Homo-oligomer: A and B are copies of this chain.
């Protein structure tokens, strides 16, 4: 069953960015974590079967810091959860689409993740993910 796993949003300040959502989403519980490999702090706001993931860089050479310098704050990527990420990547590659990760790597909460190049998705930075049982 495919679903939208999350939307990643690049921001300068996690607290300021999430306050507006707390205003109108009742009883929302935000979780915080730090992803050292990506040099970001993350605020995760659950939203039905999906979530919003706010990303604040912890260092100037973080990929998110570079995105902020170039494009400013806003939606950075979206992540679709699939049943079989290896099969999805194989289909994409066979059809000539460009992959950033040819093989899945380990993402948050032990999920398998891989990014597709925005050149192949009309400007959308697309992440695929698969839950690992």
A-side interface residues, number (CB < 8 Å): 44
Do B20 and A92 touch (CB < 8 A)? yes
Interface residue ranges of A3-57 to B (CB < 8 Å): 3-4, 7, 9-12, 16-17, 20, 23-26, 28, 47-50, 52
Copies in the complex: 2
Chain B residues within an 8 Å CB radius of A120: 20
Instruction: Write the residues of chain A forming the contact surface with B, with a CB cutoff of 8 angstroms.
Output: 1-4, 7, 9-12, 16-17, 20, 23-26, 28, 47-50, 52, 72-75, 78, 80, 82, 87-89, 91-92, 95, 97, 116, 118, 120-124, 128
Do A49 and B122 touch (CB < 8 A)? no
Q: How far is the CB of A5 from chain B (nearest CB, A)?
A: 9
